[in-house]
Amino acid sequence: MVLVALYAGWALTEVVRNVGADDRVDTDAIVVLGAAQYDGTPSPVLKARLDHALELYEQGVAPKVVLTGSKQPADRFTEAYAGFTYLLGRGVPESAMDVVTDGMSTYESLAATARVLQEQGVDRITLVSDGYHNRRMLGIASELGFDATVSPSSSGASPARIGREAVLVAAGELIGYRRLDRLS
């Protein structure tokens, strides 16, 4: 019982400690995790991620932006495509973007991104999502062979989201993120 409590405490500490991590070191690509879109228009959460990725791109953190995210069954557009058109409209050249639409989860999206980027010889990436997601993204990226940093679009999160992430980090570190994704 004590070991379980200590492990849970470690996972919670890891998630909280990484919420505010913002590493703006030079990498090869900025990877934006998808979020909802409405008929091709980014939701406020996705827009915040895209605006942050644009800021990083303009600061020269990486020469490439990778947009991830699939779509729900009734959707006409993917999250990645909504992000692509949004950034294209803000001056990011098409040649500086990759669109990865495979994956219904963080793990699946990053695994699909790994396949695309490894073909290009890219392994140093900056991950953009919400801060509460940082620790799990780093764990998944490491498992997939990336040298990853994080730069979140927001740092706020509800206690419920922090708690959920702590459970997912604890399980992912224990059994592996790929296996955890398959159980979900």
CA neighbor of 30 nearest in space, from 83, 70, 79: 83
- Alpha carbon 49 to its chain centroid, in Å, reads 9
Decide if 84 is inside a domain: yes
Decide if 107 is inside a domain: yes
pLDDT at 157: 83
C-alpha span between 42 and 129 (Å, rounded): 14
Decide if 181 is inside a domain: no
pLDDT at 1: 85
pLDDT digits (tens, 9 = 90+) for 41-53: 999 999 999 999 9
The domain containing residue 36 runs over which residues?
20-157
pLDDT digits (tens, 9 = 90+) for 21-38: 999 999 999 999 999 999
pLDDT at 35: 95
- pTM for the predicted model, two decimal places: 0.95
Structural domain count of the chain: 1
6 burial via Cβ count (<10 Å: 0-12, 13-18, 19+): exposed
- CB contact at 8 A, 44 and 156: no
What is the band of 156 on the pLDDT scale with cuts at 50, 70, 90?
Answer: confident
Decide if 86 is inside a domain: yes
In 1-154 the beta strands, taken as DSSP E runs, fall at 29-32, 37-38, 41-42, 65-68, 97-100, 124-128, 147-150
Decide if 167 is inside a domain: no
The whole-number average pLDDT for the span 60-73 is 96
